[in-house]
Structure 1
């Protein structure tokens, strides 16, 4: 029997967030997903420390251009001579769930994805930290997995069980599992599957959880077909 529970209902309303600190990364965080980070840049050490202390989220956004680690660019005309950074307008709130500082200038954190948000305005502050005014987006409507997509939920359950038995603790999706919910199943497959950054971003931005799961099923089918050739 799968560790399953009804998926939580999304909030009824969206709302604005002022001065949301951003963390541009070469990945896409999905709601409910887990993200492990090692923090050593000055611009993020203070930010993560404050978020952990205050229990407030920061925003994870996918990098379109630039590097996760700030780099000097002698040809750059702005940003104090650093290489430009461009990132997606839609991201996911992240809350620190585990925190350690094994040495000075290093933090090791585990975060969980929350609501999605859309950036309205952004500005770059001291040491290169990005801050945005944003609007949170509504969560997925609870949508039961239809019969033709149940094999995707069953396959995910087997993968998660294998992770629980054989993998490190940090590789396991957090309980409870919502294997009867389209959005949750689609998001956990997106956590697991290797795909181009733009493809993950497009799936995360989709408001229709059933369509998201159908697209994930198409990707899995192509992957299985390619492996079997």
Structure 2
């Protein structure tokens, strides 16, 4: 019998984007339910879950989230120039939502099953072009990764997740890449997607 995966209860933040493990995301917080979420997480040092929105919107009535998301830890916060609260988050483990409920203030909470962290795998020679393309993308679009150690570019999981977040992919494509559990399969899909973005 397969070992049961660890589970926990977390507040959920449905968004129109996907957060990947190790990824960084800046968020503007203004709705009371999400201000409460930030207060709870900073007070207890806990994480919250970010899930892609399948139906609905980021504001107003609770949206329907994708079943697989990523834990987010708050790494920094402060008031932005527009007076709103801004937070910086970092992606942790992925999870599958088992069940959700909506609190009276509209905040979605979920019982989630944590996925194991992907182990490091060397980028195989047939995907050798992908780290080079990623390096170029980081130069122009991903300044937060410019100081990444060279060894990161040898890790199939890191390369795949960074390409997935920097390429202009549709939400369902981002979600598909998040849900893959094999880093080499993820690289294969990205390799097949890349010609779409190459200038003719």
Match of 2:97 in 1: 119
Distance 1:199 1:13, change over 3 A: same
What TM-score does the superposition give when structure 1 sets the normalisation length? 0.79
Q: Which has the higher contact order (CA 8 A, sep 6+)?
A: 1
Equivalent residues of 2:103, 2:109 under 8 A apart = yes
Q: Distance in 2 between matches of 1:104 and 1:194?
A: 27
Q: CA RMSD in A?
A: 2.2
Shift of 1:105: 7.7
Q: Give CA-to-partner distance per residue, 1:132-153, whole Å, 9 cap, x none.
A: 1111001212111011211110
**Structure 2: runs of 5+ lacking an equivalent:** none
Larger C-alpha radius of gyration, 1 or 2? 1
Match of 1:76 in 2: none
Match of 1:57 in 2: 47
Query: Quick check: 30-39 or 105-114, which moved more?
Result: 105-114
Shift of 1:174: 7.5
Q: Secondary structure at the match of 1:64?
A: strand
Query: Quick check: 173-182 or 183-192, which moved more?
Result: 173-182
What TM-score does the superposition give when structure 2 sets the normalisation length? 0.90
Q: Give CA-to-partner distance per residue, 1:144-195, whole Å, 9 cap, x none.
A: 101121111022123323457xxxxxx4238544110111101000110111
Match of 2:188 in 1: 214
Q: Give CA-to-partner distance per residue, 1:14-60, whole Å, 9 cap, x none.
A: 41112x00000011111111111000001100111221232211000
Match of 1:140 in 2: 118
**Number of residue-to-residue matches in the alignment:** 196
Q: Distance in 2 between matches of 1:223 and 1:103?
A: 34
Q: Give CA-to-partner distance per residue, 1:95-131, whole Å, 9 cap, x none.
A: 0111113599831011010000011111000221000
Q: How does 1:1-229 map to 2 (within 5 A)?
A: 14-18=5-9, 20-70=10-60, 82=61, 85-102=63-80, 106-163=84-141, 171-173=143-145, 176-177=148-149, 178-224=152-198, 227-228=199-200
**Structure 1: runs of 5+ lacking an equivalent:** 1-11, 71-81, 165-170
Q: Secondary structure at the match of 2:145?
A: coil
Q: Distance in 1 between matches of 2:76 and 2:23?
A: 14
Distance 1:14 1:105, change over 3 A: farther
Equivalent residues of 2:160, 2:186 under 8 A apart = yes
